[in-house]
Every structure is written in structure tokens, then in C-alpha cells.
Amino acid sequence: MKRIGDIRRTTAETDVYAKWIIDGTGEARADTGIGFLDHMLVLLAKHGLFDIEVSCKGDLYVDGHHSAEDIGICMGQAFAKALGDKAGIKRYGTFYVPMDEALVMVSVDISGRPYLHYNMDLGVPMIGQMDAQLFEEFFRAFAFNAGITLHINCLYGSNAHHMAEAAFKALARALSAAAEIDPRVKGVPSTKGVL
């Protein structure tokens, strides 16, 4: 049975729809109004073998902040909904991804305790049409709404596109590993009995 979550969130600033199928094949449809973010979300689906659908109509005439944050909120909620009771998951995932001169490590704990450690200095104000500051906003919104602990560390790199791409690919692999079902796990992987 596929684990599926979908969310619609409408505010005065954005109208976002997000659908996340954890046990997918890597298919993605992303139409956020921010081309570089679309590219990153397609990578997230492909490298995590998730099926993801995301659309956003946002107030981009202001800037991309509301859209990036609200997309993160909805994607986090869709991921959490798809996980369901979290029974049988491996819980943890850590992955390093090299992208030419850049190397990024992402570590995930599906813990129910939201946290973001973000250590990426992209060194540029924009990547394509995306404000570089919005990556942290997206990741924070995603982590807090997914209920995960998320650590993103760029060990080194000089090309902002490569660093951002490596971060999304590493996130994809780490989430996929953490959400994987292990038949040996009975209930949730916590001595507390809940996640």
C-alpha cells in the first residue's frame, strides 16, 4: 500500500497544493512560479524515488518569500501525512552528495521533534529567479511541518547552483532512507513508543 499525503493551503498570499507519495518512482510535477525551486523539487522526487506534485500561485510581485515558505509548510505536512503512524520506519537517514566541487551532508531524524541546523553559505544573492536566503526558509518550514530533525551542512563548494542541488539530492536520499520500512521494526523505532 502506497503512503500518500496531500495538502491544500490557501492564504491571502499563496494558494499551494502539495501531494507526496513516499513509495513512488521519482515522478514530479512542480509549478511554483520560481523556476529554480521547481528544478530542486524535481530533483527531490527523482533522487528520493518519491512521487511529488506541487503547485503554487503566490504573490511573486512582492518577492518569493511567501511562496517558498508556504511550499515548505505544505510539503512538510504532506510528507508527515504520508508517513502516517510511522510504524516500521527506519527513522534515521544520512547522506553525502558530491556535485562537482561541492559536497553536502544531510542528516534526518523522523523524530516528531522539529529542528533545523542549516550551514550553507551560498555566497550569492540569487540563483536564477530564487533569492538564496529562501533556501533556509523552505527547509525550516519543511522540517517544522514534517516533524523532523534536519541537519544540512555544506562541507565545501564554490558554485551556488551545485551546493543547492547537492543539498536537495542529499535531502532526497536521507528522507528516503529514514522513511524506508524495515520489516524487523515492530511499531515505531523509539523506546518511548511514540514518534
pLDDT of residue 133: 97
Cα(154)–Cα(119) distance, integer angstroms: 6
Q: Which three cell numbers stand for residue 17?
A: 497544493
Q: Which three cell numbers stand for residue 103?
A: 559536497
Q: Which three cell numbers stand for residue 54?
A: 506541487
Q: Looking at the domain that runs over 4-179, which CATH code has it been given?
A: 3.30.230.40
The SS3 assignment for 149 reads strand
- The pLDDT profile of the chain, 195 residues, written as one tens digit per residue, is 789 999 999 999 999 999 999 999 999 999 999 999 999 999 999 999 999 999 999 999 999 999 999 999 999 999 999 999 999 999 999 999 999 999 999 999 999 999 999 999 999 999 999 999 999 999 999 999 999 999 999 999 999 999 999 999 999 999 999 999 999 999 999 999 888
pLDDT of residue 75: 98
CB 145 within 8 Å of CB 77: yes
Residue where the block lists cell 518512482: 25
pLDDT of residue 1: 74
pLDDT of residue 2: 87
> Would the pTM count as exceeding 0.95?
yes
Residues in CB range of 133: below 8 A, 6 or more apart: none
Q: Which three cell numbers stand for residue 192?
A: 518511548
Q: Which amino acid is residue 104, in one-letter code? A: V
